[in-house]
Structure 1
Amino acid sequence: MVIKVFTASSSGSTAIKKKQQDVVGFLEALKVDYTQLDIACNEENRMWMRQNVPADKKPTSGIPLPPQIFNDEDYCGDYETFFDAKEDNSIHAFLGLAPPPGSKQAPAEEEEGQEEEAE
């Protein structure tokens, strides 16, 4: 599984640049493997991103802006949903990744599995 972060290297918007830096910096801090795909210099990346953002997740303008995050072909979300997951401490679930060993989410899942075995 590869996390794909669609960004725009030549965005004129400082807000978009800050959001992109926040996503990439956070993934690096967590040591999550990801690929950054530029939509400004690569038309194929731009078209793929636009076609694969679900219709109900597209803004009213119809054109999704970077950063957009995918796990392989599966859409994870945009910056706002990323930020919410980060604040809720559920970034691994947001990305569709297993929580790292020793995290708060990992033991809870193990306990659930043990409860099911006991039944």
Structure 2
Amino acid sequence: MVIKVYIASSSGSTAIKKQQQDLLGFLEANKIEFEEKDIAANEENRKWMRENVPENSRPATGNPLPPRIFNDSQYLGNYDDFFDARENNAVYSFLGLTAPPGSKEAEALAKQEA
């Protein structure tokens, strides 16, 4: 399982840049392995991302904007979905990964199972 984050290295949107930095910074800080896929520098990445974002997760008009998160080819969500998971201490579940021992998420899961 590989977490893939589709980003745009040259976006004119400050909001998109901040979201990308926040998402990538969180993954790096928590030592979560991921692949960064740039849709601005690679047409194949852009095409793949646009084709694999589910219909119900697309904007009403235009194309899906980065950042978009996948686990291999399974679509996980956009920045808002990631942010909600982070606020709920559920990032590892959101990403389809096992929470490391001692993490808030692992502790919460252990309490639920007890």
Given the two structures, how large is their TM-score scaled by the length of structure 1? 0.88
1:59 aligned residue:
59
Give 1:62 deviation, angstroms.
4.3
Match of 2:78 in 1: 78
| Between 53-62 and 18-27, the greater mean CA deviation after superposition | 53-62
Matched, 1:23 2:51: no
- DSSP 3-state at the match of 1:75: strand
1:39-58 correspondence to structure 2 within 5 Å: 39-58=39-58
**Residue deviations 1:44-86, cap 9 Å, x none?**
0001000111111111114110000001111110011011111
CA-CA distance at 1:33 after TM superposition = 0.2
Please list every run of 5 or more consecutive structure 2 residues that lacks an aligned counterpart in the other structure: none
- Find the aligned partners of 2:62 and 2:110 in 1 and give their Cα distance: 38
Other structure's SS at 1:32 match: coil
- Distance in 2 between the 1:26 and 1:5 partners? 12
CA distance in 2, matches of 1:13, 1:75: 23
Q: How many residues align?
A: 113
CA 1:102–1:77 in structure 2 vs 1: closer, same or farther (change >3 Å)?
same
> Distance in 2 between the 1:29 and 1:23 partners?
10
- Which sections of structure 1, spanning at least 5 residues, go unmatched? none
Q: Which residue in the other structure is 2:12 paired with?
A: 12
* SS of residue paired to 2:69: strand
Deviations 1:13-48 (A, max 9, x none): 111100000000000111000010000010100010
Note the aligned Cα RMSD (angstroms).
1.6
Amino acid at match of 2:7: T
Counterpart position of 1:2 = 2
